[in-house]
């Protein structure tokens, strides 16, 4: 395939992100309240929509250990789909700087994603997209490979002021030995033994007062929960 045929638009997002834990009952109540003051994401269904991500790391587990050490400036690379039938796949690198995150995305074909999962990094050389080229260099130099598959349900609410986006993630499941990103029924296990929801508030420059007031009514517990880190449970328990 000619490289020009693989030229897709990339996306760069730089935002602040705050996370909270919330129990299922409060989650239902808050979701109802958010509907009254924000717009629902167009992909929201009765149970939200599915997100499935496959994360990569080095053989030295660099990204995992940087998260474990609490290093402020760190990165993660992943492939992301919203359905196993997706023909285009998001290839993303996400960098964290405290509460601020910068996410760069490129779109690659499903066929190239399959090859990338098999550690054939050279498929990215055919893309003229700057993000794809950057990720290629990182993958090639660091010899990354797939380490964990994660899936969850998300409901999202948006507001145009400060590009506010509030998401509620539930039913978080993962697998560290099985990487069937495009399988219809992947083998996944819950990441926690208890039922909970993860609330994420994302915004550009500052959070609006009315949203802070709304969230304060639900006695939320702020946390630094990482789906990637928690989903690496087998590695953390037995290999570190």
89, 81 in Cβ contact below 8 A?
Answer: yes
Most confident among 59-63, 80-84, 195-199 (mean pLDDT): 80-84
Confidence category of residue 195, pLDDT binned at 50, 70, 90: confident
Residues 84-108: pLDDT tens digits? 999 999 999 998 876 678 899 999 9
CA distance 130 to 136: 10
Residue pair 38/71 in contact by the 8 Å Cβ criterion: no
CB 23, CB 197: distance < 8 Å: yes
Q: Is 207 exposed, middle or buried (0-12, 13-18, 19+ CB in 10 A)?
A: middle
* Secondary element (H or E) of residue 39: strand 39-40
Rounded CA-CA distance 20/18 in Å is 7
At residue 6, the pLDDT reads 61
pLDDT of residue 237: 60
Which has more confidence, 235 or 16?
16
Run of H or E residues at 53: strand 49-57
Rounded distance, CA 25 to CA 22, Å? Answer: 8
Q: What is the pLDDT of residue 174?
A: 95
Give the whole-angstrom CA distance, residue 133 versus residue 142: 14
Would the pLDDT of 14 be above 80?
A: no
| Range of the structural domain that residue 123 is part of | 3-238
Give the percent of the chain with pLDDT over 90.
Answer: 62
CATH number at residue 150: 3.20.100.30
Among residues 110, 195, 180, the alpha carbon closest in space to that of 150 is found at 180
Rounded CA separation 220/21 (Å): 6
pLDDT value at residue 46:
84
* 171 dihedral zone (left: phi>0; alpha: psi -120 to 50; beta): left
Q: Which of 124, 178, 191, 111 is nearest to 146 (CA)?
A: 178
Q: What is the pLDDT of residue 235?
A: 63
Cα separations in angstroms, 177 against 190, 231, 234:
14, 11, 10
Number of folded domains that form the chain? 1
The predicted pLDDT at position 4 comes to 38
Closest CA to 114 of 24, 181, 60, 38: 181
> Is residue 240 predicted with pLDDT exceeding 60?
no
């Amino acid at each position: 395939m000619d490289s020009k045929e693989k030229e897709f638009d990339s996306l760069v997002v730089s935002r602040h992100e705050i996370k909270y834990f919330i129990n299922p009952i409060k989650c239902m109540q808050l979701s109802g309240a958010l509907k009254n003051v924000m717009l629902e994401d167009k992909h929201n269904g009765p149970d939200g929509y599915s997100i499935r991500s496959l994360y990569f790391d080095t053989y030295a587990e660099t990204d995992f250990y940087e998260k474990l050490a609490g290093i402020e400036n760190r990165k993660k690379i992943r492939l992301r789909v919203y359905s196993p039938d997706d023909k285009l796949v998001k290839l993303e690198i996400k960098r964290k700087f405290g509460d601020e995150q910068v996410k760069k995305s490129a779109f690659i074909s499903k066929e190239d994603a399959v090859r990338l999962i098999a550690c054939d990094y050279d498929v990215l050389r055919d893309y003229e997209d700057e993000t794809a080229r950057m990720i290629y260099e990182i993958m090639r130099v660091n010899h990354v490979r797939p380490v964990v598959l994660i899936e969850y349900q998300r409901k999202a609410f948006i507001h145009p002021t400060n590009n506010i986006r509030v998401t509620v993630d539930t039913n978080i499941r993962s697998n560290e030995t099985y990487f069937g990103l495009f399988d219809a029924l992947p083998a996944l296990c819950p990441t926690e033994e208890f039922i909970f929801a993860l609330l994420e508030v994302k915004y550009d420059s500052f959070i609006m007062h009315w949203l802070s007031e709304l969230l304060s009514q639900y006695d939320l517990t702020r946390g630094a929960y990482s789906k990637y880190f928690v989903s690496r449970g087998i590695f953390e328990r037995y290999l570190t």
